[in-house]
C-alpha cells in the first residue's frame, strides 16, 4: 500500500514538472510583439509555388498573362512559360472556378497508368512543339507523381488557385509551344529563357 502511494505521488510530481516545463518553454518561445519583427519576416517570405491552399494568389500579377482559355466554366490562365538551364520548361498560372459547384479537376487527369493516382491535377497536360512536331508529356518523379499542382480538396466556386507544371524543354530554337490541357482549348505560349 505504501509503495502504491509513493509511485502515484512520484507520477503526479513528474507530470506537474513536465507541465511546468512546457508552459515555460511556450512562454519563452513567444515573439516580442513590440518590435514587430515576426510580422515583417512573415510578410516578406515568398509564397511557395504550387501550394495546395485554397486562397487566391496573394500578389496580383502586374504583367499581362501569356494566355487564357475557358471551357465549361473553368478559366485557365498562363502567367509564365520559362525554359531553364537544366533542360526543363516551367509553366505557371492560375485556374478559376466559374461554375456553380466545387471543381475537382477530374477531367484533367492523365490516362497514363503511372499517373492515374495523381487524382485531380494537371497530370494530363502536355506541350506541343508544332514546328518540331513533338509532344512533351508532363514530368514525373520516381514514384509516379507528376511534377505539377494537385488540386487537393478542389477549387471552390468563384475561387482561384495557383498552379505549376514542368515539362522537358523543347530545343533552344523553339520560341513558342502549345499547352494542351484535357477539356480546354489549346493555349499558344511564347517561351522565355530562365537562369
Of residues 67, 84, 28, 88, the one with CA closest to residue 185 = 67
Confirm if 87 and 61 have CB atoms less than 8 A apart: no
Strands (E), the chain: 67-71, 74-83, 88-97, 126-129, 134-137, 160-168, 176-180, 187-190, 192-193
- pLDDT band of residue 188 (cuts 50, 70, 90) is very high
Which one of 44, 59, 76 terminates a domain?
44
Q: Is the pLDDT of residue 138 over 90?
A: yes
CA distance 195 to 149: 22
Q: What is the pLDDT of residue 50?
A: 40
- pLDDT band of residue 180 (cuts 50, 70, 90) is very high
Q: In angstroms, how far is CA 144 from the centroid of its own chain?
A: 17
Q: Which domain holds residue 38?
A: 2-44
User: Is 58 inside any structural domain?
Assistant: no
User: Is 59 inside any structural domain?
Assistant: no
Q: What is the pLDDT of residue 185?
A: 96
**Lowest-pLDDT range of 80-84, 116-120, 137-141, 149-153:** 116-120
State pTM to two decimals: 0.66
User: Is 56 inside any structural domain?
Assistant: no
**Lowest-pLDDT range of 67-71, 109-113, 151-155, 190-194:** 109-113
The DSSP annotation for 83-101 comes to E-TTSEEEEEEEEEE-SSS
- For residues 111 and 182, membership in a common domain is answered with yes
pLDDT tens for 38-51 read 443 333 333 334 44
- For residues 101 and 152, membership in a common domain is answered with yes
pLDDT tens for 161-179 read 999 999 999 998 899 999 9
- For residues 91 and 16, membership in a common domain is answered with no
- pLDDT band of residue 92 (cuts 50, 70, 90) is very high
Average pLDDT of span 58-81: 83
Q: What is the pLDDT of residue 26?
A: 39
CA distance 124 to 109: 5
User: Is 49 inside any structural domain?
Assistant: no
User: Is 22 inside any structural domain?
Assistant: yes
- CA torsion angle for 131, 134, 135, 141 (degrees, to 10)? -120
- For residues 73 and 160, membership in a common domain is answered with yes
User: Is 53 inside any structural domain?
Assistant: no
Question: How many domains is the chain built from?
Answer: 2
Confirm if 146 and 118 have CB atoms less than 8 A apart: yes
User: Is 129 inside any structural domain?
Assistant: yes
Q: What is the pLDDT of residue 96?
A: 96
pLDDT tens for 100-121 read 999 998 889 887 877 777 778 8
Q: In angstroms, how far is CA 79 from the centroid of its own chain?
A: 15
CA distance 95 to 159: 8
Q: In angstroms, how far is CA 163 from the centroid of its own chain?
A: 6
Which grid coordinates are listed for 82? 520559362
The DSSP symbol for 22 reads: H
Which grid coordinates are listed for 57? 494568389
Q: Is the pLDDT of residue 1 over 90?
A: no
Amino acid at each position: 500500500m505504501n509503495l502504491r502511494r509513493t509511485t502515484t505521488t512520484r507520477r503526479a510530481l513528474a507530470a506537474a514538472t513536465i507541465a511546468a516545463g512546457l508552459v515555460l518553454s511556450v512562454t519563452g518561445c513567444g515573439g516580442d510583439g513590440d518590435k514587430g519583427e515576426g510580422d515583417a519576416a512573415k510578410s516578406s517570405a515568398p509564397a511557395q509555388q504550387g501550394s495546395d491552399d485554397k486562397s487566391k494568389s496573394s500578389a496580383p500579377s502586374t504583367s499581362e498573362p501569356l494566355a487564357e482559355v475557358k471551357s465549361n466554366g473553368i478559366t485557365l490562365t498562363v502567367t509564365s512559360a520559362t525554359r531553364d538551364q537544366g533542360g526543363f520548361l516551367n509553366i505557371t498560372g492560375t485556374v478559376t472556378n466559374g461554375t456553380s459547384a466545387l471543381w475537382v479537376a477530374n477531367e484533367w487527369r492523365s490516362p497514363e497508368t503511372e499517373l492515374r493516382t495523381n487524382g485531380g491535377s494537371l497530370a494530363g497536360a502536355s506541350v506541343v512543339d508544332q514546328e518540331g512536331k513533338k509532344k512533351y508529356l508532363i514530368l514525373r518523379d520516381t514514384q509516379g507523381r507528376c511534377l505539377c499542382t494537385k488540386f487537393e480538396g478542389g477549387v471552390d466556386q468563384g475561387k482561384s488557385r495557383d498552379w505549376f507544371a514542368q515539362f522537358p524543354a523543347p530545343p533552344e530554337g523553339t520560341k513558342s509551344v502549345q499547352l494542351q490541357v484535357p477539356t480546354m482549348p489549346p493555349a499558344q505560349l511564347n517561351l522565355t529563357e530562365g537562369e
